[in-house]
Amino acid sequence: MAVALLLMCYLATASSEGAPSPPERIAVVGAGIGGSAVAHFLQQQFGPQVQIDVYEADSIGGRLATITVNNQQYEFGSATIHSLNLHMQDFVKLLGLKQRREVAGKAAIFNGEQLVLEETDWYLLNLFRLWWHYGISFLRLQMWLEEMMEKFMRIYKYQAHGYAFSSVDELLHSLGGERFINLTRRSVAESLLEVGVTQRFIDEVIAAVVRASYAQPLTIPAFAGAMSLAGAQGNMWAVEGGNKLVCTELLKLTKANVIRARVTGIALLSTEGKMLYQLRHESDGGHGLDTYDMVIVATPQYQGGSNISFENFEPSVVELPGTYHRIVASVVHGYLNSSYFGFPEPKLFPFSSVLAADNPDLFFNSLDNICPVNVSASFRRKQPQEAAVWRVLSQRPLEKPQLKTLFRSYYSVQTRDWAAYPHYASALKELPPIVLHDNLFYLSGIEWAASSVEMSAVAAKNVALLAFNRWFQHHEKIDQKDLMHKLKTEL
Ligand SMILES: Cc1cc2nc3c(=O)[nH]c(=O)nc-3n(C[C@H](O)[C@H](O)[C@H](O)COP(=O)(O)OP(=O)(O)OC[C@H]3O[C@@H](n4cnc5c(N)ncnc54)[C@H](O)[C@@H]3O)c2cc1C
Ligand SMILES: *[C@@H]1O[C@H](CO)[C@@H](O)[C@H](O)[C@H]1NC(C)=O
Ligand SMILES: *[C@@H]1O[C@H](CO)[C@@H](O)[C@H](O)[C@H]1NC(C)=O
Ligand SMILES: *[C@@H]1O[C@H](CO)[C@@H](O)[C@H](O)[C@H]1NC(C)=O
Ligand SMILES: *[C@@H]1O[C@H](CO)[C@@H](O)[C@H](O)[C@H]1NC(C)=O
């Protein structure tokens, strides 16, 4: 009711002024990939005259971050991007950046005693081996993933035609109908069993992949599970110089005002029939207040998360339920203890990645021999007996004895504690809303469907289109049904 009244006020003011003008000032909270991308897309939609202020409490890039070891930089947060992630590909082209060359490496799954699944160089042999081990499960998984990816890719077409969705459910429904929405509500294990993947394959292979990407068990939603499995299929890339360059360069291109401050509150102000949002923010330089026509919240909202309070909203903007999952990244420069993995002779250890099987006794989730963000043509991976840079992801900080188990010896260890992804078990029957108020949008809720760099970019484009379509009342471009069919006949 209150929303309807506000909307009527707003429609009245807009029409009394003739052709509506674009918003004058927009605030974006958070300069991760979500915030940087939305600043860029908002400018594309509304034009260069709109002032866009981007607030960042910590560092530009957010969960895209690098760490320096021995004068070389390495990815500390999100490391890889799928080849079908088209927004990220577009950004790299637009910004004149390069995709980093992939350095081949093999992976294996470790169950605490031995390596249970080893990847070989030869793709066919690999396939044969998987077939021999797991039979039809492997093919069923491939088909399931391919169908999902194909449907997911529809989003790029919808967005290219300016269509937006007012909720994550609407967005998913337009891509894959009710089935897609169901994939956010049922576990990945359940969904795979249903398409005929065997329990054994799920327990031995899928569990390790899901654990390495989301640090959580097979109870995570099928949609998120599919995203992590797609990542395990190969065809991954990264940005030369570091993934976070996409954020810094997008903000430069947009000429957004980057304000180094933490936003602590957003209040609704109503002056002279005009609705404005007042942002409270604080930094070392003190406190500040600024007003905006539109605000995009591009950082996760959860209890104990970014702590933004919403004031004067009627109905109130409620605190969103759920928590985020902690992951510790340790970047270790040292000598791997290959004995621990059953290879007493270091030279013979052939793997560059080890995923932990679903065994609660294992104190790490994954271990990767990582390459610097700048890889020259002559770069080669370190031999297994040489000192190398490894990234270990674990639930808790690694203790000395654990480090001594994984590494014969090491020169340095640097750690970072991440609030990494939604803790899916703490959910949420419903996915979080996108529209918090007329011109106040929440971008990061999409992570409850799946958390990845590209999902944030997709959400950014959706929010920019939604904000634009709502501002200029292009209602026909919001939540359109049957878009697949509509776009086919329109073209
Ligand atoms: C260890 C790790 C590995 C990962 N691996 C991958 C991977 O391989 N592939 C992949 O696709 N994804 C991966 N992810 C997930 C991916 O990093 C995230 O989904 C994505 O980066 C989220 O981007 P975002 O912009 O939505 O959020 P964030 O990057 O979290 O950005 C939010 C920003 O808002 C700022 N902020 C927060 N509160 C406030 C406030 N009150 N005021 C102002 N600023 C504020 C934060 O400092 C932050 O910079 C990984 C994540 C982690 C942690
Ligand atoms: C989605 O889930 C609901 C509830 O479990 C079920 O009734 C419905 O048949 C499912 N739809 C599809 C298309 O799977
Ligand atoms: C790393 O790559 C980035 C992007 O291509 C480039 O700007 C930078 O100069 C490179 N750094 C080194 C040390 O080669
Ligand atoms: C948010 O508030 C909680 C509890 O008041 C606090 O523990 C947490 O550190 C705060 N988060 C940030 C990012 O300031
Ligand atoms: C390496 O692993 C083996 C086997 O688990 C273990 O006995 C040894 O203590 C570990 N550490 C070193 C430094 O060899």
Tens of pLDDT along 416-470?
Answer: 999 999 999 886 678 999 999 999 999 999 999 999 999 999 999 999 999 999 9
Residues in the chain: 491
For helices 136-152 and 168-182, the axis angle rounded to 10 degrees is 160
Q: Give the position, in ligand 5's atom list, of the atom nearest the Cα of 337.
A: 1
Reported confidence tier of residue 6, pLDDT bands at 50, 70, 90: very low
Cis before 433 (ω within 30): no
CB of 402 sitting under 6 A from ligand 5? no
pLDDT tens per residue across span 180-197: 999 999 999 999 999 999
Ligand 3, residues at Cβ distance < 6 Å: 98, 240-241, 374
Tell me the C-alpha distance between 209 and 365, whole Å. Answer: 9
What pLDDT, on a 0 to 100 scale, did the predictor assign at position 2?
42
Tell me the pairing of strands 25-29 and 294-297: parallel
* Helix runs in 113-254, H state only: 123-134, 136-152, 154-160, 168-182, 188-194, 199-201, 207-214, 222-232, 245-254
Cross-strand partners of 348: none
Mean pLDDT, the chain, rounded, equals 90
CB of 323 sitting under 6 A from ligand 4? no
The CA 345 to ligand 5 mean position distance, Å, reads: 12
What pLDDT, on a 0 to 100 scale, did the predictor assign at position 90?
98
Model confidence at 3: pLDDT above 50 = no
Lowest-pLDDT choice from 18-22, 57-61, 128-132, 482-486: 128-132
- Among protein residues, the one whose CA lies closest to atom 7 of ligand 5: 340
Strands, DSSP E only, in 284-427?
286-292, 294-297, 309-311, 324-336, 353-356, 366-369, 388-394, 407-422
Q: What's 22's DSSP letter?
A: P
For the entire predicted model, the pTM comes to: 0.93
- Among protein residues, the one whose CA lies closest to atom 9 of ligand 5: 405
Arithmetic mean of pLDDT, 269-284? 91
What pLDDT, on a 0 to 100 scale, did the predictor assign at position 128?
57
- Among protein residues, the one whose CA lies closest to atom 12 of ligand 1: 452
Which ligand is nearest to the Cα of residue 239, counting in written order? 3
CB of 150 sitting under 6 A from ligand 2? no
Tell me the pairing of strands 72-75 and 286-292: unpaired
What pLDDT, on a 0 to 100 scale, did the predictor assign at position 205?
85
CB of 418 sitting under 6 A from ligand 1? yes
Reported confidence tier of residue 14, pLDDT bands at 50, 70, 90: very low
pLDDT tens per residue across span 333-351: 999 999 999 999 999 998 9
What pLDDT, on a 0 to 100 scale, did the predictor assign at position 8?
42
> How many percent of the chain have pLDDT more than 90?
73
Arithmetic mean of pLDDT, 211-240? 89
- One-letter identity of residue 384: P
Q: In testing the pocket of ligand 4, which one of 307, 308, 319 has its CB within 8 Å of the most ligand atoms?
A: 307
Our measurement of the distance from residue 445's CA atom to the centroid of its chain's CA atoms, rounded to an integer in Å, reads 11
The CA 453 to ligand 1 mean position distance, Å, reads: 8
Lowest-pLDDT choice from 134-138, 141-145, 173-177, 268-272: 134-138
What pLDDT, on a 0 to 100 scale, did the predictor assign at position 123?
53
Arithmetic mean of pLDDT, 228-239? 84
**pLDDT top residue among 137 and 75:** 75
Which ligand is nearest to the Cα of residue 186, counting in written order? 2
The CA 416 to ligand 1 mean position distance, Å, reads: 13
Model confidence at 4: pLDDT above 50 = no
CB of 157 sitting under 6 A from ligand 5? no
What pLDDT, on a 0 to 100 scale, did the predictor assign at position 376?
79
Q: Give the position, in ligand 5's atom list, of the atom nearest the Cα of 409.
A: 13
- Exposure string of 300-337, with b = 16+ CB inside 10 Å and e = fewer, is bbbeebbebebeebeeebeebebbbbebbbbbbbbbbb
Reported confidence tier of residue 18, pLDDT bands at 50, 70, 90: low
Q: In testing the pocket of ligand 2, which one of 178, 179, 429 has its CB within 8 Å of the most ligand atoms?
A: 178
The residue among 421, 476, 361 whose CA lies nearest residue 78 is: 421
DSSP code string of 179-201: HHHHTTTSBHHHHHHHTT--HHH
- Among protein residues, the one whose CA lies closest to atom 3 of ligand 5: 340
Arithmetic mean of pLDDT, 52-76? 97
CB of 173 sitting under 6 A from ligand 2? no
Arithmetic mean of pLDDT, 397-410? 97
CB of 182 sitting under 6 A from ligand 2? yes
Model confidence at 7: pLDDT above 50 = no
- Among protein residues, the one whose CA lies closest to atom 8 of ligand 3: 241
Tell me the C-alpha distance between 466 and 221, whole Å. Answer: 26
